[in-house]
Amino acid sequence: MEITAEIKDRLSLLQEKYAAMGQDITAYLDGLLYADYLTYWDYIHLDTLLSLQHPKTSYPDEEIFIMYHQITELYFKLALHECKQISNHTSLTPAFFASRLKRINAYFTALVSSFDIMVDGMDKEQFLKFRMSLLPASGFQSAQYRMIEIYSTELIQLATAGKRDALKHASLAEQFEYIYWKYGASELSTGKQTLTLQQFIAKYAGQLLQLAQNNTDRNFSSLYKTLQQRGEDMSAVEEELRKLDLFVNVEWPLSHYKSAVRYLERDPVDIAATGGTNWQKYLPPRFQKRIFYPYLWTEEQVEQWGKSWVMNVLKTYRI
């Protein structure tokens, strides 16, 4: 093969690159010579990925349950990748902000639209049996989802609804003590924390509080207000923030609510979730009234938050 002028130019540029770092280009060319060709399966570690499903029972549909939750966590990781780009940007513009929000919303579009796999994609009797081997593990324990929430808004908006007014001027540590999800895995009768919640707090509470402290002025709500005060055109950002608000605080919880109604609701007694979460009060958006950007919604929209969605689900899936 002829060593063309173009190849010589490339080699010269590479030599300059490695020389600037005190490296010898010859060693790197040797590495390229000895290395095997890259394959798709090696690049994405396909064999490892496909080996990560380890059911606890012999029921076939448990593998569906495992894989869907793994897929969910990968989508959350994609969303967090975009969250970090927004939060860490040193010269954030509305255009960049909106473009990365649009990516996050695309991931949640896929998540919400695919959740029918969890609603109708498993045999109910199998699910009610294999779920007992999962105690006390629960999807409630997804730390990545909590991180997305913290990136999205001020911590006060994640406090349980009845405490927000009293905590407005409290420290972040005090606000975190009343974060809404702590009440979602507490026993209704006693208020005692379930083992699911205790495990989650022990592993992730410090990390989540630190993230909130690091993003006091870098969460999406704070960044929006900063850019708005500069007189920037925020219309595209507002559109994407509203979508994100609905996805995270209405559509995604509602997807889980549909699944819970499908599998766990029995008349007259409801079946407990695997983690002991009081899903009847925890999942419906109208009870939590968790809204990232209340200033982007009308008073009526806030008042009716998620109500119509929940009523439609109950009509469709109530047993």
Given pLDDT bands bounded at 50, 70 and 90, which one contains residue 319? very low
pLDDT at 268 over 50: no
pLDDT number for residue 116:
86
* Greatest mean pLDDT range, 87-101, 123-137, 299-313: 87-101
pLDDT number for residue 119:
81
pLDDT number for residue 269:
46
Amino acid, res. 39:
T
Rg (CA), the chain: 24
Sequence-distant (≥ 6) Cβ neighbours of residue 200 within 8 angstroms: 140, 141, 143, 185
Tokens of 302: 């806030």
* pLDDT tens, position by position, 278-299: 545 555 555 668 999 999 999 9
pLDDT number for residue 267:
45
Give, in degrees to the nearest 5, the angle at Cα 136 between 131 and 137.
75
* pLDDT tens, position by position, 6-43: 999 999 999 999 999 999 999 999 999 999 999 999 99
* pLDDT tens, position by position, 155-200: 999 999 889 999 999 999 999 999 999 887 776 667 788 899 999 9
pLDDT at 317 over 90: no
pLDDT at 5 over 60: yes
H runs (alpha helix) in the chain: 5-20, 25-34, 40-43, 46-50, 61-88, 94-114, 116-120, 124-130, 143-152, 164-167, 172-177, 181-184, 195-214, 220-229, 235-246, 252-264, 279-282, 285-288, 299-303, 307-317
pLDDT at 209 over 90: yes
Give the span between the Cα atoms of 108 and 88, in whole angstroms.
Answer: 22
Buried b (16+ CB within 10 A) or exposed e, 110-148: ebbeebeebbeebeeebbeebbeebebbbbbbbbbbbbb
Determine the 3-state secondary structure of 97 from DSSP.
Answer: helix
* pTM confidence score: 0.87
3-state secondary structure 277-290: CCHHHHCCHHHHCC
Q: Contact 278/291 with Cβ under 8 angstroms?
A: no
Tokens of 299: 């008073």
- Mean pLDDT, the chain, as a whole number? 89
pLDDT number for residue 189:
65
Q: Percent of the chain scored above 70 by pLDDT?
A: 87
Element (H, E) at 247: none
pLDDT number for residue 286:
58
Determine the 3-state secondary structure of 219 from DSSP.
Answer: coil
Give the span between the Cα atoms of 235 and 246, in whole angstroms.
Answer: 17
* pLDDT tens, position by position, 69-108: 999 999 999 999 999 999 999 999 999 999 999 999 999 9
Determine the 3-state secondary structure of 193 from DSSP.
Answer: strand
